[in-house]
Amino acid sequence: MDKVRILPTFILGFFIFIGLLSLGYFISDAFLKSKDLERTVVVKGLSEKEVLADVVIMPIKITQTSNDLESLIQKIDLDTKEIIKFLNDNGLKDQDITLGAVSIVDKMANEFSNQEFSMRYLASKVINIYSNEVEKIRALNGKLSELSQKGILFKTDDYDTKIEYIYTNLNDIKPNMIEEATSNARTVAQKFAQDSNSKLGKIKKATQGQFEVVSRDKNSEHIKKVRIVSTIEYYLAD
């Protein structure tokens, strides 16, 4: 009776063993094939382009000193009118000019200062230019010295009155630059595949970097360099 039971159990166990062995083979084979499919190469594609800024922001800071507060404010007002006239005469529109508030410092109001001042009050005001006529403003900047001949004290393109050039048409050049970066990345990947006796497959993963806009150099702030780097991972096949 026991022998009769042992035989079917043995047969069942044998087939289970064969089944597990076959399953292991197919899993192993599938794993190896999966590994083959996972052969990839990661490359980077670069695109760079030089463009001209299309917006300029130029602050002009005027200053005056006096011991009389009323006359000081009058001086600032006269300087402001003279500068606006100068800007208008050189083709600037009123809508491109913004006037800041007058800032007045009383040097004697500092209780911790023991210095003697020849002038008690210091007044300053910022006239801000915002324009898309970049070349006109650059030419105008070279003429500002004419204001000094009229006794107007001012400064521009200093640490607190820095001229700023901006490029605002990035969306217009983005598609072509992305296409160029992708094409450059594919060229590099194809060269790698060729050198490794492989064939370049489809894209597995692609990452677009951030667009970077910087000045070409410190002496050409109005010329901008736009840069994008794309990272792309390709499949490789034999």
CA pair distance 2, 100, nearest whole angstrom: 106
Of 124-128, 132-136, 176-180, 194-198, the least confident: 194-198
- pTM for this model (two decimals): 0.76
One domain for residues 187 and 216: yes
CATH number for the domain including 186? 3.30.110.170
Our count of domains for the chain comes to: 3
One domain for residues 71 and 155: yes
pLDDT tens per residue, range 35-54: 455 788 999 999 999 999 99
Write down the pLDDT at residue 112. Answer: 60
Asked which of 165, 181, 203 is the last residue of a domain, the reply is 165
Q: 152 is in which domain, residue-wise?
A: 55-165
Task: Check pLDDT > 60 for residue 100.
Answer: yes
What residue ranges in 39-151 does DSSP mark as E strands?
40-52, 55-66, 97-99, 103-106, 121-131
How much of the chain exceeds pLDDT 90, in percent? 60
- Which one is predicted more confidently, 120 or 213? 213
One domain for residues 157 and 60: yes
Across the range 90-106, mean pLDDT stands at 92
One domain for residues 103 and 136: yes
Write down the pLDDT at residue 54. Answer: 96
One domain for residues 44 and 34: no
CA pair distance 62, 79, nearest whole angstrom: 8
Task: Check pLDDT > 50 for residue 110.
Answer: yes
| Angle (nearest 5°) at CA 138 between 218 and 104 | 90
- List Cβ neighbours of 43 (8 Å cut-off, separation of 6 or more): 185, 186, 188, 189, 192, 231, 232, 233, 234
Q: What is the chain's mean pLDDT, rounded?
A: 85
